[in-house]
Structure 1
Amino acid sequence: MGDPLNHRDNPLRIGLVGAGQISGAYLRTFPRLANLRLTAVADLDLERAKAAAADVPGARALALPELYAADDVDLVLNLTVPAAHAEVAHAAIAAGKHLYGEKPLAATTAEARAVLDAAERAGVRVGCAPDTVLGTGVQTARAALDAGDIGAPVAATAFMTTPGHERWHPAPEFYYRPGGGPLLDMGPYYLTALVTLLGPVRRVTGFSSTVRSTRTIESGPRAGTDFPVEVATHVTGVLEHASGALSTLVMSFEVWAAQLPRIEIYGTAGSLSVPDPNGFDGQVRLFRAEGDRWEDLPVRGGYAGASRGYGVADLARGLAAGTPHRASGQLAQHVLDVMESLLAAGESGHAVPVTTDCERPAAVPAGARPEEA
């Protein structure tokens, strides 16, 4: 592994694995983050890797074994398909590289634990998306909570509803196979936000349903094609946080239209409306017990102008400062465990304990920049 990062003039050198669609969002962000530098790109399609590297001065396309062995790669950015996440993670860790991956960290909680155990033995860090919670939306809500603006948090609601991705996606089958569904697809954004705001979850209960056994593709060259549904398409759950707060979660591919909040938090002295956790910013609104209307809050926390890749920069900041990074592997593992436990509760009809734990990530102060330790 390369020399450790110790100041912003010594950027963390990134080797990107998986130059698919999501890689473009990271590549657009990296140039404005002074503590990161992309040096290598690998993909099963070498021409695609070359095309991605060509747009970044100093970067080159490599075969996977070459990228893992490269002296100028400190961290492997894992943007492969979810089924390959654990395999790439273990290869990177075995090569002594730090790791940051797209969600989920692995296909199962057990696989995620194996990745974290391997990283601990190797003495390297693991980070994982989503990093949307580092933006001004969730972090302004976090600042309001920490300031006691709504008193002690009592409960929260979180809703993600859509009629289904087959309406717009030309090849939506993977959303309806094991590993897909509304909870595993979109749940990480909502659950990571809830844990960032209210802390870890210790127990869940809930129910799930699969209303239709088949769906029909509605757009693209295969429009009209039927395909099977193999997962729950509506999940309703209740999360018991270690703090005692209760969150109600609805994740659905069965709702045509709804006028529901993305996330709201209810406290002993007021309520807080949190913007879409699938984005980095948005308006946070506060209702005080002594007031008579909702008020818009100014930005009070978070990385301004954040986009995909800020979690990697925050990891680099943590390395430089010798402090924990926020979009951590432990947080990602806990969220994955919560989702698996919810699905198990839906199957059994009983409450299921969440056996993993994580620290509530540190808040991001207003005006902070991830490249400044």
Structure 2
Amino acid sequence: MGEPLTVGIVGAGKISAAYAQTLARLPGVRLTRVADLDLARAAALAADVAGALPVRPDELLASPDVEVVLNLTVPRAHAEVALAALAAGKHVYGEKPLATGTGEARQVLEAAASARRTVACAPDTVLGTGLQTARAALSAGDIGTPVAATAFMVTPGHERWHPSPQFYYEPGGGPLYDMGPYYLTALVHLLGPVRRVTGMASTPRPTRTTLDGLEFPVDVATHVTGVLEHASGALTTLMMSFDAWTGQLPRIEVYGTEGTLNVPDPNGFAGDVHRFTGAAQEWAVLPELAGYRDAARGYGVADLARSLREGTQPRASADLAYHVLDVMESLLAAAATGTATTVTSTCAVPPPVPLAADPQDA
């Protein structure tokens, strides 16, 4: 397998501990540096990882024992940090979205091509057994030809649990940009890229309040609904909301000529896939058919390490992340104009993940 890919985290916020814990148990990667504008936060995270050192961001970018920068900053900084990492000769794996807009994202893709470096991007939840089992069932023709899908994500807002939720309500946030990448990436895996969208959006509440009582403005749409036309011809009905309490809606369902698949939460790696067919006339739980077992956030970084070793594209590719960003941007444009909007980008559907315990085995 060779030496592990050395990783440096930039951004020691809430999600960073989950990544650090996963990277510590995967043989293909090794966390060597942690950086944050607040050096104390970097030190607190590094203290839990053997061999990891807390440093300033510029020191991490200059470090020879960091091959890939794991960009866990807030969305508005994603492109800036990615560009700095590429300029320093590093590969990049970033949290979603790839950038706050396609203009910034194109700069990242162009910089990566110029530097001959690879950019990958979350979500990696689609590499787990939940989504990959559903994908395998579709590929096997279990429900015939897919003709439509639904995707629903509803919550009253992240300020109910996050200590610093303001960035969720800034450009690059909102339910579509925050949670949409999980659902849209899953839908691309299941039904292929999107060619046209239409929709509507609203911001029912102009302000939100933090757990400690601080009121702050809302600068994005917090309820978004739309219809996606996939290149395959399938139609997806989508609703992403920070303005609704939980309901009895499916996370994702795919409807085919011979049956229906109920797909588990795309914000998780596992979960049961339920299948209903016209022939059986009942729901059945499918066994695990594909995907990384026991996966967690960070498996996309390990998949990137595998791809660099083999000279292939990572499954959580920048092209896929760019297309998802383009779909989201196009949906909001359609909502603003009241017309259907053509999605100008496309992407290859990533290769399926075989049933495996470790990205190095797939």
TM interval, shorter chain, is: over 0.9
The corresponding residue for 1:3 is none
The corresponding residue for 2:12 is 19
User: Which moved further from structure 2: 110-119 or 57-66?
Assistant: 57-66
The residue identity in structure 2 corresponding to 1:181 is G
Give the Cα–Cα distance (whole angstroms) in 2 for the partners of residues 155 and 196 of structure 1. Answer: 14
Matches within 5 A, 1:185-334: 185-217=178-210, 220-222=211-213, 226-334=215-323
Aligned length: 362
Give the Cα–Cα distance (whole angstroms) in 2 for the partners of residues 372 and 166 of structure 1. Answer: 39
Give the Cα–Cα distance (whole angstroms) in 2 for the partners of residues 300 and 112 of structure 1. Answer: 34
The residue identity in structure 1 corresponding to 2:273 is V
The corresponding residue for 2:90 is 97
Give the Cα–Cα distance (whole angstroms) in 2 for the partners of residues 39 and 265 of structure 1. Answer: 42
Cα displacement (A) at 1:230: 2.9
Give the Cα–Cα distance (whole angstroms) in 2 for the partners of residues 104 and 58 of structure 1. Answer: 29
Q: Percent identity?
A: 67
Cα displacement (A) at 1:276: 0.4
> After superposition, what is the alpha-carbon deviation per residue over 1:159-217, rounded to whole angstroms, capped at 9, x for unaligned?
00122334444544433333322111211111111011111111101111222334455
How much is the aligned-residue C-alpha RMSD, in angstroms? 1.6
The corresponding residue for 2:171 is 178
Report the TM-score when normalising by structure 1.
0.93
Matches within 5 A, 1:54-93: 54-93=47-86
Give the Cα–Cα distance (whole angstroms) in 1 for the partners of residues 16 and 163 of structure 2. Answer: 20
The corresponding residue for 1:154 is 147
Judged with a 3 Å threshold, the aligned counterparts in structure 2 of structure 1 residues 258 and 14 are, in CA distance, closer, same or farther, namely same
Task: Structure 1: give runs of 5+ residues left out of the alignment.
Answer: 1-6
Judged with a 3 Å threshold, the aligned counterparts in structure 2 of structure 1 residues 30 and 257 are, in CA distance, closer, same or farther, namely closer
1:140 aligns with 2:158: no
The corresponding residue for 1:360 is 349
The residue identity in structure 2 corresponding to 1:70 is S
Task: Structure 2: give runs of 5+ residues left out of the alignment.
Answer: none
Cα displacement (A) at 1:258: 1.6
The residue identity in structure 2 corresponding to 1:351 is A
Report the TM-score when normalising by structure 2.
0.96
8 Å contact 2:128–2:291 — kept in the other structure? yes
> After superposition, what is the alpha-carbon deviation per residue over 1:224-273, rounded to whole angstroms, capped at 9, x for unaligned?
x5443332221111111111111110111222342110000011111100
| Structure 1 stretches of 4+ moved >6 Å | none
The residue identity in structure 1 corresponding to 2:352 is A
Cα displacement (A) at 1:151: 1.1
